[in-house]
Amino acid sequence: MAYKRTEITPGEIERQRDICARIRETYLARGIRPLAMVDTFGCQQNEADSEKLRGYLAEMGFGFTDDSARADFVILNTCAVREHAEQRVLGNVGALTHTKAANPDQIIAVCGCMVQQKHMAEKLKRSYPIVDLVFGPHELWRFPELYQDVLTRHRRVFAIDPSDGAVAEGIPLQRDKGVKAWLSIMYGCNNFCTYCIVPYVRGRERSRKPEDVVAEAKALIAAGYKDITLLGQNVNSYGKDLAEPVDFADLLRMVNDLEGDFVLRFMTSHPKDATEKLFRTMAECEKCAHHLHLPVQSGNSRILKAMNRSYTREKYLAQVALARQYMPDLVLTTDIIVGFPGETDEEFNDTLTLVDEVRYDAMFTFIYSKRVGTPAASMPDPYSRADKQVHFDKLVELSNTISAEKHAAYEGTRQRVLIDGADGRGEWKLTARTKGGRLVHLQGDEGLVGQFVYVDITGSNTWSLYGEITTG
Ligand code: 5AD
Ligand code: SF4
């Protein structure tokens, strides 16, 4: 597949930032401190995109609110992976009719993956006249220009042309304060799993240059972030589109070698091309969490083929065994789709036996959702939603049992954890993560947030661990 790498020039991003500065001056001259609300749906990639939206908005002089009634500008950054997410977005857009009625100057934008689908953009155009601005993931880098168009031309703006996507450096970012940071290393996906909409809405795989990733990681560490997650739809493809010979394992090592006390994570890894070199690198890099999110999707080789996953059950199990050989303490998580078109009882049963064999620390389970334009959408799908729900419930029950057993095995152990939050319930105010990413509830002072401490694990359940900070 021929894809020409497109880079947005620094001059273009400068132009966007100049627009931000002009918008800011206009608000200042009118004595207005405008408020924006950015509501994010879906995955971490979308969270990372919202940080860019907020970065631009801050440069335009916006403050932020979570209250849509108070916001001058509401932006919904949407997801298209499953129908449920889309329905939630449409419900939220509908609810904004009231806020806009109370404040007719309120501007409403809908962006992200959902609107990159033509039928969804059409629906917003036709049925949701309160929406002023619609733009897909490919247009995010020129969001200031699009907003300016809405302000100055007093018309609705739709920017959703199909595109393979580009790489844009230098967009300002406003990250959540705290100890955890997302760091996008690549965008898009080339895998075309037959159920998935992502390759159609996020374009082809394109990697950021290693020096840009490393510089951003360095800045994050200097700013006090202690838990850094490298993000991509399939990080194992990192570097394939770059001129220089660099792969994901190389990049991981470069970030690991930066000075500072931090934990390095990444997601997501496609099982078809996770390499031995990656597992070895993870084992050798002292800051790298021994955690793999390795979505299996199904335990049956016929279904995997129909999904276009490019591996069999056996190959997947071999990958897991190899990873565990390098990291006996590996925390393994996965995604599974139940009810792919035509999945029989027996085929589903293969998923159960695989889960039983692998024993994941945690799983994200989904019922198949038909996505317009994907190959799976035209496959015969004879089983009812109720049948699929029965399978789904069985899988969740098994997953919960295993997670609880895995968590129970931590009791009595001592773990080094990073305290990352102080808004837990009751006495268990502090939250922390083990290096493998398991959630630990702790008692203690808020001032400890951002610190690495040792804890003795004293209790557990399906979802998390409980511990005591040790002084010894
Ligand atoms: N239906 C259900 N789940 C899906 N996923 C992706 N597309 C679909 C779909 N059409 C799940 C996959 C993927 C995760 C992010 O979402 O399990 O790994
Ligand atoms: Fe979707 Fe497959 Fe790409 Fe993941 S690897 S984003 S499931 S097409």
Whose Cα sits closest to atom 9 in ligand 1?
369
Q: What three-state secondary structure class fits 49?
A: helix
Mutational test site, ligand 1, from 234, 267, 296, 335, max ligand atoms within 8 Å of CB = 335
Q: Counting atoms of ligand 2 from 1, which one is nearest the CA of 192?
A: 8
Average pLDDT, the chain: 95
| Tokens coding 344 | 């029989």
Q: Report CA(196)–ligand 2 centroid distance (Å).
A: 6
Q: What's the whole-number mean pLDDT along residues 51-68?
A: 97
Q: What three-state secondary structure class fits 417?
A: strand
Predicted model pTM: 0.94
pLDDT the model gives residue 423 = 85
pLDDT the model gives residue 472 = 61
Q: Counting atoms of ligand 2 from 1, which one is nearest the CA of 81?
A: 1
Q: Please tell me the number of the ligand nearest to residue 79's CA.
A: 1
Q: Counting atoms of ligand 2 from 1, which one is nearest the CA of 270?
A: 5
Q: Report CA(442)–ligand 2 centroid distance (Å).
A: 36
Reduced 3-state DSSP string for the chain? CCCCCCEECHHHHHHHHHHHHHHHHHHHHCCCCCEEEEEECCCHHHHHHHHHHHHHHHHCCCEECCCCCCCCEEEEEECCCCHHHHHHHHHHHHHHHHHHHHCCCCEEEEEEHHHHCHHHHHHHHHHCCCCCEEECHHHHHHHHHHHHHHHHHCCCEEECCCCCCCEECCCCCCCCCCCEEEEECEECCCCCCCCCCHHHHHCCCEECCHHHHHHHHHHHHHCCCCEEEEECCCHHHCCCCCCCCCCHHHHHHHHHCCCCCCEEEEECCCHHHCCHHHHHHHHHCCCECCEEECCCECCCHHHHHHCCCCCCHHHHHHHHHHHHHHCCCCEEEEEEEECCCCCCHHHHHHHHHHHHHHCCCEEEEEECCCCCCCHHHHCCCCCCHHHHHHHHHHHHHHHHHHHHHHHHCCCCCEEEEEEEECCCCCCCCEEEEECCCCEEEECCCHHHCCCEEEEEEEEECCCCEEEEECCC
pLDDT the model gives residue 425 = 83
Q: Counting atoms of ligand 1 from 1, which one is nearest the CA of 336?
A: 17
Looking at the predicted structure, is the pLDDT value of residue 1 above 60?
Answer: no
Q: Report CA(12)–ligand 1 centroid distance (Å).
A: 35
Q: Please tell me the number of the ligand nearest to residue 364's CA.
A: 1
Q: Taking a C-beta distance cutoff of 8 angstroms, is the pair 292, 335 a contact? A: no
Q: What's the whole-number mean pLDDT along residues 144-149?
A: 97
pLDDT band at 471 (very low <50, low <70, confident <90, very high): confident
Q: Counting atoms of ligand 1 from 1, which one is nearest the CA of 196?
A: 7
Contact residues of ligand 2, CB 6 A cut-off: 189, 191-193, 196, 198-199, 233-234, 270
Q: What is the pLDDT of residues 209-229, one digit of tens each?
A: 999 999 999 999 999 999 999
Q: How far apart are CA 276 and CA 271, in angstroms?
A: 11
Name residue 228's beta-bridge partners.
181, 264
Q: What is the pLDDT of residues 167-187, one digit of tens each?
A: 999 999 999 888 999 999 999
Q: Report CA(198)–ligand 2 centroid distance (Å).
A: 6
Q: Report CA(80)–ligand 1 centroid distance (Å).
A: 10
**CB neighbours of residue 228 within 10 Å:** 24
Worst-scoring range by mean pLDDT, 322-336, 355-369, 420-434?
420-434
Q: What's the whole-number mean pLDDT along residues 13-39?
A: 97
Q: Report CA(81)–ligand 2 centroid distance (Å).
A: 10
Q: Counting atoms of ligand 1 from 1, which one is nearest the CA of 371?
A: 10
Q: Which of 93, 85, 42 is nearest to 68 (CA)?
A: 93
Q: What's the whole-number mean pLDDT along residues 360-386?
A: 96
Whose Cα sits closest to atom 13 in ligand 1?
335
Q: Report CA(199)–ligand 2 centroid distance (Å).
A: 7
Q: Counting atoms of ligand 1 from 1, which one is nearest the CA of 195?
A: 10
Mutational test site, ligand 2, from 79, 189, 270, max ligand atoms within 8 Å of CB = 189
Q: What is the pLDDT of residues 233-273, one digit of tens each?
A: 999 999 999 999 999 999 999 999 999 999 999 999 999 99
